[in-house]
Each structure stands twice: as structure tokens, then as C-alpha cells.
Amino acid sequence: MTAGTNGPSREQKYDRQLRLWQAHGQKALENTSILVVHANATATETLKNLVLPGIGSFTLVDGKVVDGADAGSNFFLEGSDIGRSRAQAAAALLAELNPDVRARAVVADVEKALTVSPELVTQHNIVVASSLPQHILLPLAKLCAAENIPLIVVRAYGFVGHLRIQAVEHCIVESHPDTINDLRLDCPFPELLAYANSFDFHALDNMTYAHIPYVVILLRCLEEWKSKNNGALPTTSPEKTAFRQMVTSLKREGVEDENFEEALKGVFRALQPTKIDSKVASILEEARTKPITAETNNFWILAKAVAEFVDSENGKLPLAGVVPDMKSDTESFVKLQTIFRDKAHKDVAKVHAIASNLSVGATGPSLEETARFCKNARNLVLIRTSTIESEYAEPYAGTMADMPENNVQYYLALRGVDAFYEEHKRYPGYHAEEVESDIGLLKKSCTAVVTKMGLKNVAVSDDIIHEMVRAGASELHTMASFMGGVCSQEAIKLITGQYTVLNNTFVYDGMRSVGAAHTF
């Protein structure tokens, strides 16, 4: 019961994060094995943030040996590591952070390792690659896309941060909207309506009257309105005003009216017809025609089951079963909660039965998973990022006008740096004596990138070219740590399937403290 004798339990150690992503999120994390390409500072900082919360295992691939600059910019390499394998030295220090995590170092030239043994990639669930030259990155990205393994490309270059997520298909059940609103006041289910009708407003004493839940007040008013208006809800502005007056007219003289004020505040929401959001509808549409095979993941099985449920339930999704806090006496509130919960349970049972029938071979989604899916059905998110291959296709079909000018320039400058590397087999400004000559060369590379992409009215300014050359491929630890934080944060969202991940590019201008996102 108490800590100490057998060391801290995982539960104690992970207490805080369990409150964020719950036990099923932790399980997903512990079942994940990640491949990290390059043991530079950005990559090791990323790994640190995944090892601490207990990712299942990691493989770190790097063929280089530690030099002085590595030890200076990488917290997970020490002076005494100079001359050792970067992958081994960093993996050892990272493994020390958490004995629950299995660590593996692959000491090999990255390009060779990836071409010779693609299973190095495919035996992992997620890949993080930092500062990979283009000719290695593109085949890796292609492989990940083909295998539907999420890939995060991350880099800290001087004061610039860049992150790109490639997830061919990422399904999010728990997108965590600010609130879940599913009260069905416009189309109450029979149990809810019966409960609302059980209140005899005239007979209630003042105290009870002040505690009628606002949901009941609105339901009764809506029923009355509908009976006078051929079943239609108030839609126009004058109708809404008249409806509000109807609610107000029920206030009792001299009786506390907090519940009526809540009802008036709730009118706007109550009059929004319960319908399926177009994004969710298109997910269900896709699920309807999707054949279920042994490989189909539970998201699609459940989506298909919910689609069938919707068809059999007059176009209504399973009830979320959540009642917001409101002015009420405990008894009525608990009763209301029970009515919503019971109906939600019924809906879950139906969906679960359909899903079990749909599942091929294996047992299919558990009741718990089904319940989670139903509760979040109105907030499902499906992300299909473009491929990195298409980002490099020429010309680029879109614009980048949604990003601040400087961030666009930094993105292009990084592309220019990569093109420079492909041509000269070194990074601009890496050797102090070549700084001056590299400025002109990088400028040429950047211009070539802009031209090939076919971007109009964009050029990388001389200031930014100078800045990039001056940075000399340096990895500022602060930026590496920051970008490692961003990268691991997105990795956790991808792994747990909770919260919406970035789609798909993030560029941070550390000089001006301006971040920007763009969808390629």
C-alpha cells in the first residue's frame, strides 16, 4: 500500500500524466516502439520526453562518433563520450531515465541501414527523424507512407525550428473539444421527455420551483412551442425572442431564478438542431462502404457500427450521456444524469453488438472502447496528411501565404540548405573559412528551390541567408530542447490518439518568437 519496499509503483510514478491521458493512453504509450534516426540534440531531447513517461521501447540509429560540439550541444552526451558511438552513448544515458523502457542502439550509417534493412523501420510504430539529408529522408518518408507508420521530421537549425508530420491516416476518437454538448433538447428521447413531463410546475412549492433543472424548463417550453407551431422549433429572430419571453414568463415572483437564467442562456444551444457535423458524416460515409478485414482497425469497425446505428436511429448518433453542471437539487440532478447515462449505455450496447458482428476473426472492440467511441462520436477527427514526397513535388501547387513572411523564408532557406548539402556534401558555413563563399552558394540554392517550387513574389532575403550561413548547421541546445518538446508532444498525441495533431508543418522563428503552421 505504501511506497518504499518495492520501489515506486508505475502508477505512483505516472500519476500526473495518467490524469491527462488515462490508463488507455498510458497503455498505448507502453505498447509503442519508436525509431529515432540520428542521435543529435533535437532527437535525444525528443526521446527524453518519451522515455520519462514510459514509452515501450526505442531504437536509436546513428553511425557517427561523438565530437566536442556534440557534447556541448547534447545533454545526453558527455565529454567522456568523445570518440564513442553517438547512438550507444546517448541510448545509455537516455535509458537511465526510466528503467521501464527498453533501449536499443543501432550503430550504422543511417542511409545504409535504412536501405539494407527496411524492417528496421517497419518493426516500429512511429518514426522520428532529425536533420536527415534529402536523399535519405525521401525514401524513408516513402516507406513510412506505404506502411502507414507516422513519421515526424524535426530539426533545430540555429534559431529556426522545423517540424513536419506525415501520417497517412490518423484516427482520433478523443479530440478533446472544449465541451461535449449533446442534450437533445430539440429532439428529446422518450425517457427524457417523460421525466420533463413529470414536473407539475403549478403544484411545486417555491423552493422546489427554484431548483427545477434548466433542461426541464427548456424542454417543457419547447414542447409547448412545438404544439403551437406545428412541431417546428423557433428559427427566426422574432420567434427566438418570443421563445425567450415564454421562458421568462414562467419565472415566479419573489422566487430565486438562477435556473431560469441558466435556461435563457441555454436557449441558443437548445435551438441548434441536433445533427451530425459534416466532417463526422463523411467519416461515417466512408465507413459504410469500407470492407472489414482482419486488418481493419477498431476505429473503422466502430465507425461502421455507428453508421449502421445512425441509420436505424433516425439519423441520430449514440448519445454522449454527459450532463453539464446546473442549478438543481441533488435528487433531480442525479435523476437527470441517470436518464442520460442509461440511454447512453443502451446506445453503446447496440453499437457494441453491431461492431461485434462486423468484426472478422478477432474479438473486436471492447465494450469500454465502444463506450469511449460513442461518447466522442460527434467529435471524431480523421487526419490524412499529404506525403512528404508530394511536398517536394515540383511545382508546389499551393501557396504559403498563411504563414508570416519570415517563417516562409526560413522554410525555404532550410530547403535551400538541404539542396546545398546535396550539391556540396556539407552544410553552408560549417567551415569558418568558407562562410563568405557559402553565402553566394546558399543564395543560389535558395533561388533554385523557389523557382522549382514555382512560388511567386517570394525570395529568401540576404539577412536570412547570412543568418543561416552564420549558424553553420549548429544545433543550439535551447532550440533543440524546445523543438524536442514540440516533437514529443505531437508524438504523444499520435501515439495515444488523443487531441488533434498538427497538420502538418510547423516553423518556429526563434529570433522573433513567432510560430506558424502550414498544411502542405
- Residues 250-279 binding another protein (CB under 8 A) are 261, 264-265, 268
| Binding positions for another protein, 22-51, rule CB under 8 A | 23, 45, 48-49
Using CB under 8 A as the binding rule, whether residue 203 contacts another protein is answered as no
Using CB under 8 A as the binding rule, whether residue 368 contacts another protein is answered as no
**Site string (311-340) toward another protein, x via CB under 8 A:** ------------------xxx-xx--x---
Closer to another protein by CB, 146 or 242: give it.
Answer: 242
Using CB under 8 A as the binding rule, whether residue 420 contacts another protein is answered as no
Residue of the chain from 376, 385, 386, 488 that contacts another protein (CB under 8 A):
488
Using CB under 8 A as the binding rule, whether residue 3 contacts another protein is answered as yes
10 Å CB burial of residue 148 (0-12, 13-18, 19+) is exposed
Using CB under 8 A as the binding rule, whether residue 501 contacts another protein is answered as yes
Q: How far is the CB of 226 from another protein (least distance, A)?
A: 20
Half-sphere exposure of 398 (CA within 13 A, CB side): 12
The C-alpha angle with vertex 21 and arms to 20 and 27, in degrees rounded to 5, equals 145
Q: How far is the CB of 198 from another protein (least distance, A)?
A: 16
Using CB under 8 A as the binding rule, whether residue 118 contacts another protein is answered as no
Return d(Cα 127, Cα 43) in angstroms, integer: 11
Closer to another protein by CB, 123 or 478: give it.
Answer: 478
Stretch that binds another protein, among 19-27, 124-132, 184-192, 194-202 (CB under 8 A): 19-27
The C-alpha angle with vertex 464 and arms to 458 and 469, in degrees rounded to 5, equals 130
Residue of the chain from 150, 158, 213, 365 that contacts another protein (CB under 8 A):
158
User: E strands along 429-488, which residues?
Assistant: none
Using CB under 8 A as the binding rule, whether residue 499 contacts another protein is answered as yes
Q: How far is the CB of 172 from another protein (least distance, A)?
A: 9
User: E strands along 358-470, which residues?
Assistant: 381-383
Using CB under 8 A as the binding rule, whether residue 401 contacts another protein is answered as no
Return d(Cα 344, Cα 322) in angstroms, integer: 9
Q: Which residue has 437539487 as its cell numbers?
A: 329
Residue of the chain from 13, 84, 142, 424 that contacts another protein (CB under 8 A):
13
| Binding positions for another protein, 457-486, rule CB under 8 A | 470-472, 474-479, 481-486
Cell numbers at 28, concatenated: 498505448
Residue of the chain from 134, 208, 390, 447 that contacts another protein (CB under 8 A):
208
Closer to another protein by CB, 309 or 420: give it.
Answer: 420
| Binding positions for another protein, 75-94, rule CB under 8 A | 75, 78-80, 82
Return d(Cα 496, Cα 343) in angstroms, integer: 28
Number of residues lying near another protein (CB under 8 A): 90
- The closest alpha carbon to 384, from 515, 282, 486, belongs to 282
Using CB under 8 A as the binding rule, whether residue 510 contacts another protein is answered as yes
Q: What is the DSSP string of 186-225?
A: SS--HHHHHHHHT--GGG--HHHHTTS-HHHHHHHHHHHH
Q: Amino acid identity of 338?
A: T
Return d(Cα 391, Cα 156) in angstroms, integer: 20
Stretch that binds another protein, among 6-14, 113-121, 278-286, 349-357 (CB under 8 A): 6-14
Taking CA atoms, 506 is separated from 265, 398, 403, 483, 498, in Å, by 38, 16, 10, 10, 19
